């Protein structure tokens, strides 16, 4: 009698790539996963693997776009049609009029980007047009290094942690067991968040700010730090560029003014700054997106991260450490071809700082490109894992997809985007595909893994990367696309790894730990403490110093200082709008049950949180006759969406929060796509104005 098989693999319900084992019965069906004890997404991934609605065969649209009318076709017909339509678009309108978009999953991005650039289009776009990249660009421009990536890593030396609008129990594995969700002896905690989250409950001081005022709060911190002489002046004298102008600017951000702007108590502000500035070393723990998804988010984030510089806590153990690249796979994306040989990317025209630092076009401009031809015309699109719910004013993006000359997409399930497609392709899950994974890790330490396929694909599903290789072959570029051999593409990427790392990564399911070379550089230079890399290389900015007043921004006609500006929609900046929409709307608080719009069709996960909710303070609810669990209509100038009221005092009065990712109740149908951040192009998902009322229809 045959026995069950145990296979080691890695999860991809988020991009943390946690290792686990899967049990497979003699019939080849996965029956159990083990090794993901505190992650419901990972534990229940087999529910998605065998979901009855999963896409298993290539489909061709047979009805009007959006109607859901599709018929099954062969892979050969699907790939031939896509190849012909891409080539047709190129011949009629030029290769840049053909876009290539990557949402989830991220593993096939190298192959898709290679396809875009080999085809001749610079317009490879990703979900990073509204996620993570803005924080990274702000940090690289200000310090020459990334710091967010390491900001939530625990250090035993940290005596005060300033948690700025992130909530580990919903967003950072292992969630409730993350160090930010623990009271630690000898470590103070200040939390900045419009909601009283699980993390905020643990705080010594909770600054419950009005959404979008992060920049004012950060500048208020700086004001008090310099007023009280808490700054590290010796460090700043050597390493700060533009400090004098910055100090002059922050004089206006007095505690009373900042408290009024942010809607917090002045005494709490003063106490929080003193705690952060005197209980050293102190660290800022931050989110990839919460500070930058505002109309002035890029500069707000710069003001915040400069706090570490003012206190001399930058790349210091216990403070905010630099993130260093470790061993990296060989690039196969052909981005060098894009830079040297292809026309400008979408966004080069209006967001030159962002596109300088980020190797993609700015996807938030796609609706403008399709509907208005600005800044470039897009007519054809090949995408994987795209959902219109990712875009502000989502219905406009849905309309844009419907007006494309041709649109093809791969995914696990239908969603509002796939319903607009001409061809829909079934994607293989992470259990059904191989991948080379270089996980970034922390300041000096990372991981390299090679995930082998654990299960055969269901139906006729294929790995996204395999699809893109086969399209390259179809379009006459077999030599550039490994003749369609996916494992060969990973093998070429692996050529960039040292031999011993590559061999160990392929042999060990758990992968291999890798380290940055800078450790040896510091030791060779006589520094036995593995921090403060600026002693070796300075700061990798245009001035070699920390950019309090950014020369690079000024050269592109932006403000060099991290100036504070009110959100475009706010009680202060738009009182006429506020008269009709008197509540501040924020959105996107993370939950460990869902990855954005994913997993919302998994019944056992919906048991944890079954309805699209809006969190509203009891005072605001009572004024509107709203009771807990009422069906309510949330309205902005963009439209109306129905949610269910979660009446709770975790919210700041005057502020409401909608959870995101629900296709049937998409908060981004309400958000604004007309006032993107002028430097990054990010939308203001998290600081707008709305009204809430009891729905006229029954639940």
pLDDT above 80 for 355: yes
pLDDT above 90 for 259: yes
With beta carbons less than 8 A apart as the criterion, state whether 127 and 364 touch.
no
- What domains are defined for the chain? 5-50 (2.20.25), 59-132+327-513 (3.40.50.740), 147-322 (3.40.228.10), 575-694 (2.40.40.20)
With beta carbons less than 8 A apart as the criterion, state whether 635 and 691 touch.
yes
- Least confident stretch, 238-242, 383-387, 399-403, 693-697: 693-697
Alpha helices in 518-661 (DSSP H): 518-524, 534-537, 551-555, 575-580, 603-606, 618-623
Percent over 90 (pLDDT), the chain: 91
Q: What is the pLDDT of residue 698?
A: 54
Within 344-434, strands assigned E span: 380-384, 406-411, 423-426
Q: What is the pLDDT of residue 37?
A: 87
Percent over 70 (pLDDT), the chain: 100
pLDDT tens digits along 215-233: 999 999 999 999 999 999 9
Q: Which residues contact 678 (CB under 8 A, 6 or more apart)?
A: 298, 351, 558
Question: 221 or 522: whose pLDDT is higher?
Answer: 221
pLDDT tens digits along 679-693: 999 999 999 999 999
Question: What is the mean pLDDT of the segment spanning 327-353?
Answer: 97
- CB burial of 205-237 (b: ≥16 within 10 Å; e: otherwise) equals bbbbbbbbbbbbbbbbbbbbbbeeebbbeebbe
Q: What is the pLDDT of residue 15?
A: 78
Question: What is the mean pLDDT of the segment spanning 466-471?
Answer: 98
Question: 309 or 327: whose pLDDT is higher?
Answer: 309
Q: What is the pLDDT of residue 699?
A: 47
User: Is cis: bond before 105, omega within 30 of 0?
Assistant: yes
With beta carbons less than 8 A apart as the criterion, state whether 589 and 195 touch.
yes
CA-CA distance, 230 to 276, in Å (whole number)? 10
Half-sphere exposure of 542 (CA within 13 A, CB side): 13
pLDDT above 70 for 285: yes
Q: What is the pLDDT of residue 1?
A: 60
CA-CA distance, 120 to 584, in Å (whole number)? 44
pTM over 0.95: yes
Q: What is the pLDDT of residue 13?
A: 87
- Of 650, 606, 608, 607, the residue nearest 628 (C-alpha): 650
Q: What is the pLDDT of residue 586?
A: 98
pLDDT tens digits along 190-219: 999 999 999 999 999 999 999 999 999 999
The three-state secondary structure class of 29 is coil
Question: What is the mean pLDDT of the segment spanning 605-612?
Answer: 95
pLDDT above 90 for 444: no
With beta carbons less than 8 A apart as the criterion, state whether 686 and 293 touch.
yes
pLDDT above 80 for 697: no
Q: What is the pLDDT of residue 641?
A: 98
Q: What is the pLDDT of residue 236?
A: 98
Question: What is the mean pLDDT of the segment spanning 88-103?
Answer: 98
Question: What is the mean pLDDT of the segment spanning 121-143?
Answer: 97
With beta carbons less than 8 A apart as the criterion, state whether 63 and 82 touch.
no
Report the mean per-residue pLDDT for the chain: 96
pLDDT tens digits along 412-439: 999 999 999 999 999 999 999 999 998 8
């Amino acid at each position: 009698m045959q026995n069950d098989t145990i296979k080691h693999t890695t999860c991809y319900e988020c991009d943390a790539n946690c290792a686990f084992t899967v049990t497979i019965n003699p019939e080849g069906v996965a029956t159990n996963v083990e090794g993901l004890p505190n992650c419901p997404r990972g534990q229940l991934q087999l529910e998605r693997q065998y979901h009855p609605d999963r896409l298993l065969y290539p489909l061709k649209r047979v009805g009007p776009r959006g109607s859901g009318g599709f018929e099954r076709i062969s892979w050969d017909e699907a790939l031939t049609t896509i190849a012909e339509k891409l080539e047709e678009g190129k011949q009629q309108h030029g290769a840049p009029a053909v876009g290539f978009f990557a949402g989830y999953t991220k593993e096939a991005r190298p192959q898709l980007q290679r396809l875009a650039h080999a085809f001749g289009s610079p317009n490879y776009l990703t979900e990073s047009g509204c996620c993570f990249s803005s924080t990274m660009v702000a940090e690289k421009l200000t310090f020459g290094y990334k710091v967010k990536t390491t900001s939530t890593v625990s250090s035993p030396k940290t005596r005060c942690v300033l948690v700025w609008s992130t909530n580990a129990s919903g967003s950072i594995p292992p969630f409730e067991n993350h160090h930010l969700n623990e009271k630690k002896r000898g470590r103070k905690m200040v939390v900045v968040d419009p909601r009283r989250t699980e993390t905020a409950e643990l705080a010594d001081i909770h600054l419950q700010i009005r959404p979008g005022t992060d920049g004012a709060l950060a500048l208020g911190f700086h004001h008090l730090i310099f007023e009280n002489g808490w700054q590290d002046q010796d460090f700043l004298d050597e390493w700060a560029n533009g400090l004098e102008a910055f100090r002059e600017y922050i004089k206006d951000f007095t505690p009373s003014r900042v408290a009024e702007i942010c809607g917090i108590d002045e005494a709490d502000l003063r106490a929080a700054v003193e705690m952060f500035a005197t209980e050293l070393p102190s660290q800022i723990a931050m989110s990839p997106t919460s500070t930058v998804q505002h109309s002035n988010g890029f500069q707000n984030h710069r003001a915040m991260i400069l706090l570490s510089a003012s206190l001399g806590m930058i790349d210091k153990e216990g403070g905010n450490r630099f993130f260093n690249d470790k061993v990296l796979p060989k690039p196969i994306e052909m981005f060098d071809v894009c830079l040297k040989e292809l026309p400008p990317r979408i966004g080069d025209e209006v967001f030159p700082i962002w596109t300088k630092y980020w190797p993609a076009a700015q996807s938030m401009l796609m609706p403008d490109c399709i509907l208005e031809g600005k800044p470039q015309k897009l007519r054809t699109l090949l995408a994987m894992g795209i959902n219109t719910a990712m875009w502000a004013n989502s219905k406009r993006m849905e309309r844009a997809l419907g007006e494309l000359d041709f649109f093809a997409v791969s995914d696990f399930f239908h969603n509002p985007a796939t319903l607009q497609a001409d061809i829909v392709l079934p994607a293989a899950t992470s259990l059904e595909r191989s991948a080379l994974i270089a996980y970034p890790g922390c300041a000096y330490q990372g991981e390299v893994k090679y995930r082998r396929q654990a299960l055969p694909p269901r139906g006729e599903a294929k790995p996204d990367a395999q699809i893109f290789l086969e399209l390259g072959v179809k379009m006459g570029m077999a030599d550039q696309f490994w003749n369609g051999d996916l494992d060969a593409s990973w093998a070429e990427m692996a050529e960039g790894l040292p031999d011993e790392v590559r061999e160990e990564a392929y042999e060990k399911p758990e992968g291999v730990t890798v380290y940055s070379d800078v450790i040896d550089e510091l030791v060779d230079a006589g520094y036995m403490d593995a921090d403060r890399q600026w002693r070796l290389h300075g700061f990798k900015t245009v001035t070699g110093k920390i950019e309090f007043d950014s020369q690079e921004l000024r050269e592109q006609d932006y403000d060099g200082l991290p100036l504070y500006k009110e959100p475009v929609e706010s009680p202060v900046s738009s009182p006429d709008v506020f008269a009709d929409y008197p509540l501040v709307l924020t959105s996107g608080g993370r939950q460990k049950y869902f990855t954005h719009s994913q997993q919302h069709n998994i019944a056992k996960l919906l048991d944890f949180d079954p309805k699209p909710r809006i969190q509203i303070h009891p005072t605001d609810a009572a004024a509107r006759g709203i009771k807990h669990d009422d069906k309510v209509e949330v309205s902005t100038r963009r439209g109306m969406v129905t949610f269910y009221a979660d009446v709770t005092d975790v919210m700041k009065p005057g502020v409401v929060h909608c959870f995101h990712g629900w296709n049937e109740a998409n908060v981004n149908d309400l958000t604004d796509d007309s006032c993107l951040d002028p430097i990054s192009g990010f939308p203001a998902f998290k600081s707008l104005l709305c009204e809430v009322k009891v729905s006229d229809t029954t639940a």
